[in-house]
Structure 1
Amino acid sequence: MQLKGCSLEFRDKYNLSVHMVRHTGEKSFQCQSAGCTKTYATKAALDVHQNTHSDNRRFKCNECDAAFIRKTQLTVHVSDKHTGQKPFRCNWPGCEYQACYLNRLQSHKLRHTGEKPYKCSQCEWTFRLSHHLKTHMLKHTGERPHECPHTACDKRFQSKQAMRTHFKRTHSK
Structure 2
Amino acid sequence: MTNSSVQAASLVGFEDDLINHVRRHAELSEAAHRTPETWSYRNQFHILLALGRRFTPTPSSDHLMGMPDRLCYGNAARYALSHRDEGVVYAEGFALTHAGLDFYLPHAWVVRPDGTVLDPTWDDAPGRAYVGIPIADSSLWPIDGGGLLDDFDRTLPLLRDGFSRHALADLGRPLTAEGAA
TM norm. shorter chain > 0.5: no
Larger RCO (CA within 8 A; separation ≥ 6): 2
Please report the TM-score for the alignment, with normalisation by the length of structure 2.
0.25
* Greater gyration radius: 1
Please report the TM-score for the alignment, with normalisation by the length of structure 1.
0.26
